[in-house]
Amino acid sequence: MKFFSVALKNLFRRRMRTGLTLMGIAIGIAMLFSFMSFNQGYQESLRKDLRNMGAHMLAIAKGCPYEATSMILHGGEIKDYLTSEDVERIRQMPNVASAVGMFMNQKIFPHGKTLVVYGLDDAAFALKPWWVVKGDKFLDERSVVLPEEMATELGLSIGSTWSMPGVEGEFTVTGLLEKTGSQDDQFIYLPLVTAQQIFEAEGKVTSIAITLEDISKIQDVVKSVESLPDVQAITMSQVLGTAQTLMNSAQAMITSIVAIAVLISALGVMNSILMSVFERTREIGMMKAVGASQGDVFALVWIESVLLTLTGGMLGIGAAIAAGKLIDGALRGLLPFAPSGNLVAFDGQIVMVSLAASLFLGIVSGAYPAFRASQLSPMEAIRSE
């Protein structure tokens, strides 16, 4: 028997039902494929961002590490500060190549808009070698560097004057930061001393970026830093772990939705094949009457199920790849912190896993209808019509 050609003919005989079943499978597999791609892309992008931070570890005021991570990665407000003396003490510690104090805080205006201010000096700029700044960085204490997109929205260019709401005097735009694709595109950059003055925090910093001479001795430096009063050290691996913890609840929710979608797809396939079996009871009886074995009938119905799920799986994977940019944009709008780079990373391994899931779905969901069809008695099937 030409099982595949017969199975295809049976599926094409019921085009509407086959199409709806394919759509359900495609949605489920597309969600599974996108979720796996998101997991991989998010991890890779986050690690890349952390490598690009240019520091091996950070020192912050003691407190909740989740709050610290929010400040570092998302521009949250930290009310406890370190001092310039802490920066100097860390700079003198063994195995410390450099220690750079940075200041970050935010101004919240009555209408609810938040403006994140980042105070830097030349040493802090050196920790961000991937930045491309058009014009100059800071020429004096009243200089400001704006993200290029923000400057365009405000109608500003290099040499323009800009006023910060609630702050006396004007700032001169001396540089424009080209788009980085990260949270850096949402901040404004002022000289460290100026940012400290605006928030009445002279001589204070929110974090100290530390680079090491020998990365293998990072734990020794952690102990040295945390020996200072009210100072906490966070390594980049800890930041990564904390950010991942913040993502766990969202991933659990997405996993549940994907599992439900795949389950619904499996039930849809089972229902479609069962209905096909019921409608073809007499036909199956005739097949068995002219010599088809139980194994032949089982194989025919099972192949129909597998063809449905594999085709739906390929359609779902293709749709997910085609909609990659839309999915990436939607995720960036939902996540509390979205690293730069592609949040959705497609590769061959994920494609193969998704196709394997489609095959498994077909095998499992088609097993019962195939068994049911194979057990039909020829005479009873013919008489039932």
What span, in angstroms and rounded, lies between the C-alpha atoms of 251 and 161? 44
- At residue 72, the pLDDT reads 47
Residues 39 and 92 occupy one common structural domain = no
Q: Determine how β-strand 171-177 pairs with β-strand 143-147.
A: parallel
Asked whether residue 238 is assigned to any structural domain, the reply reads: no
Residues 348 and 222 occupy one common structural domain = no
Of the three residues 195, 229, 263, the one that is the final residue of a domain is 229
Residues 206 and 250 occupy one common structural domain = no
Residues 131 and 204 occupy one common structural domain = yes
Asked whether residue 93 is assigned to any structural domain, the reply reads: yes
Residues 19 and 114 occupy one common structural domain = no
- At residue 178, the pLDDT reads 92
User: Diameter of the chain by CA atoms?
Assistant: 97
- Those residues with Cβ within 8 angstroms of residue 200's Cβ, 6 or more apart along the chain or in another chain: none
Residues 86 and 207 occupy one common structural domain = yes
| Strand, coil or helix: 70 | helix
Residues 137 and 31 occupy one common structural domain = no
Residues 91 and 205 occupy one common structural domain = yes
pTM: 0.53
Tokens representing 220?
């020794």
- Domains contained in the chain, number: 2
Domain limits for position 271: 3-48+244-383
CA-nearest of 250, 230, 258 to 338 is 250
Residues 104 and 149 occupy one common structural domain = yes
Asked whether residue 239 is assigned to any structural domain, the reply reads: no
Tokens representing 295?
């194994």
- At residue 28, the pLDDT reads 84
What are the 10-residue block averages of pLDDT along the chain, 385 residues in total? 68 76 84 81 68 74 59 56 92 91 78 79 84 90 92 92 86 92 84 91 90 80 89 72 60 74 78 72 71 77 82 88 79 61 76 87 80 71 56
Residues 204 and 258 occupy one common structural domain = no
Of the three residues 229, 262, 286, the one that is the final residue of a domain is 229
Residues 301 and 177 occupy one common structural domain = no
What span, in angstroms and rounded, lies between the C-alpha atoms of 47 and 173? 32
Residues 39 and 101 occupy one common structural domain = no
Asked whether residue 72 is assigned to any structural domain, the reply reads: no
